[in-house]
Amino acid sequence: MKDKTRLESILRSIDGRGYKAYKDIQGVYDFGSFILYIDHVQGDPFAAPSRIRVLMPQEVAGFPATLYSSRPRRKGLEDYLTRQLAKNIARFVKGNRGTGKSGQISVISTGQEMLNRTSVIINSTGIEARLSMGLPAQGRRVLAGQAADMFFIELPRLVERSLVYRNLDGEGLEKQVNLAEDQWVLRRKIEEMGLVAFVANGSILPRRSGVDDRPLQRGAVPFVSPPELEVEVGLPHAGRVKGMGIPRGITLIVGGGYHGKSTLLRAIERGVYDHIPGDGREFVVTVEDAVKIRAEDGRRVEKVDISPFISNLPGGVSTGAFSTDNASGSTSQATNIMEALEVGTSLLLLDEDTSATNFMIRDARMQALVHKDSEPITPFIDRVVDLYQQLGVSTIIVVGGSGDYFDVAHRVIMMDRFTPKDVTKRAKEIALEFATHRRREAAGLPICITHRCPIPQSFEIEGRKQKIKSRGLDNIQYGYTNLELDDVEQLVDANQTRAIGDIIRYAVKNYVDGKATLREIVWKVHRDIEERGLDIISPFKGLHPGDYAQPRPQEIAAAINRLRILEVRQNT
């Protein structure tokens, strides 16, 4: 390990030289209160920024062990420190100076969710913060003086203000750590209570816009549970919390347009993740394996058994091992359900607005006109009960136009001016009063889950463009294949998408052998991450992966299933 004065000396010696001279500073330096690791130096000012790590011993950082004594609390603390770094970068780092990415210091981006990330790691020995730094240049010439300002003025100030306990808002920090623990406890308690979701009274569900996930500030109506569905849960720090508990089974969310149906479902959909203080959805919690289902026209499907919903296609096309490069709305929605069951879920979430109409319902009049022999689709209304009775899979559905679902629902929640009401009794009365006389189709027939084994050769990108690179939230470049994830709605962070790209690489290297099923592969990878951390998926040994956020197994499987070069064999 070198002293920081050695770094000063190297910088002076390379001032004005070609940019590649920065490679000389790579190494480890003692800054007294912390150790600086310069792991990777960019070769060009326009290339991806250099990667550095700061390791501060706990004797200096001074964080009480109670703040990271469990996994949920550690996640809350690491998330808080990541946000603190981002806040102080904006305060203390001058920013762009020179060519390309010169002068930038950055940390992984964050949203409204508390996720397991690789940006900050804390334990009893110390804290490691992983940052990116754009080394300054004029053209492609080293600007050593400005680099020295970054290393010896800005970075120490950033570290001091972000990673030393006494310099932080202890009350705010503890609030987030306690909230992370409360949400972890709440998610487990609702399962014990036989619930699939919980929405606390006082929650603020609307968001500012479709591109701003922060809570709506003006005009938002705080959530209040209907008395019939109100439950109370005791939490370690928040104490007794009341709210709406949605039991297992089939639940409809109904109401007029713009009354909050989809907003409620969206909050439940995001309830698989923990949220930061002030988000408004801190105590909106859903079972962690819930999957949002929608129609997805044009997606590729590889040998999925969709026969529980679709059979007898014209031309004798098999639906027991259905494949297509251009799925329709109904076949894609059937596929999405069967793939969710394959990887594992106890709750399906559907919104009529993003579903294929002919997949959701076939009313009595259409049944009379088009005989079942001529209709390959068994609508979801006739299988939703079977999903619950045979597989224990609950469903929450937003319905605005089909009262036929009253017949199969266990409960009906009506959103009226953003306020929920339990109208189950009235809905059942209406179902009897206005009987539709529609016939259930294929009801009671077994819903079998056919597992599939990915074929290793189908993942090969040798001889092609050998790069796996994420592009924002919704896209991964896999060799020459464009992996589109626009309709995987529970991906919430671009850093999850970045992790998924390298998870696929890791899975292919370690578990895809032509014998293991997709479910086995995904859950083995998940186990490895839980036991050893997200760092294990990085393909670059010795280079810190500070830009990952952990995805769920459900989103990992969804990405693999949408890979257009995927080939599988069914595990019969």
φ, ψ of residue 53 in degrees (nearest 5) = -130, 145
Question: Where does residue 370 rank: exposed (0-12), middle (13-18), buried (19+ CB within 10 A)?
Answer: exposed
Q: At which residue do the structure tokens 């595990």 appear?
A: 571
What's the one-letter identity of residue 172?
Answer: G
| Pair of tokens at residue 7 | 């770094």
User: What is the per-residue pLDDT for 462?
Assistant: 65
- Give dist(CA 560, CA 523) in Å, integer: 13
pLDDT tens across the length of the chain (572 residues): 899 999 999 999 999 999 999 999 999 999 999 999 999 999 999 999 999 999 999 999 999 999 999 999 999 999 999 999 999 999 999 988 888 889 999 999 999 999 999 999 999 999 999 999 999 999 999 999 999 999 999 999 999 999 999 999 999 999 999 999 999 999 999 999 999 999 999 999 999 998 999 999 898 999 999 999 999 999 999 999 999 999 999 999 999 999 999 999 999 999 999 999 999 999 999 999 999 999 999 999 999 999 999 998 887 778 999 999 999 999 999 999 999 999 999 999 999 999 999 999 999 889 889 988 888 999 999 999 999 999 999 999 999 989 999 999 999 999 999 999 999 999 999 999 999 889 898 877 899 999 999 999 999 986 555 789 999 999 999 998 999 999 999 999 999 999 999 999 999 999 999 999 999 999 999 999 999 999 999 998 777 789 999 999 999 999 999 999 999 999 97
Q: At which residue do the structure tokens 């009987």 appear?
A: 435
Domains by residue range for the chain, with CATH: 2-168 (no CATH), 195-450 (3.40.50.300), 452-570 (no CATH)
User: What is the per-residue pLDDT for 162?
Assistant: 98
pTM: 0.95
CA distances from 157 to 39, 154, 167, 173, 353 (A): 21, 5, 11, 20, 50
Instruction: Render 494-554 in DSSP notation, one character per residue.
Output: HHHHHHHHHHHHHHHHHT-SSSS-HHHHHHHHHHHHHHH-GGGG-SSTTS--TT-BPPPHH
- Give dist(CA 159, CA 31) in Å, integer: 11
Cβ proximity of 363 and 382 under 8 Å: no
User: What is the per-residue pLDDT for 317?
Assistant: 79
- Give dist(CA 374, CA 370) in Å, integer: 6
Cβ proximity of 464 and 478 under 8 Å: no
434 DSSP assignment:
T
CA distances from 559 to 105, 327, 483, 565 (A): 31, 16, 7, 12
- Give dist(CA 365, CA 421) in Å, integer: 31
CA distances from 440 to 229, 411, 447 (A): 29, 20, 15
Cβ proximity of 261 and 398 under 8 Å: yes
Closest of 219, 218, 200 to residue 267, by C-alpha: 200
User: What is the per-residue pLDDT for 60?
Assistant: 97
Other beta carbons within 10 Å of 166: 8
- Give dist(CA 256, CA 59) in Å, integer: 59
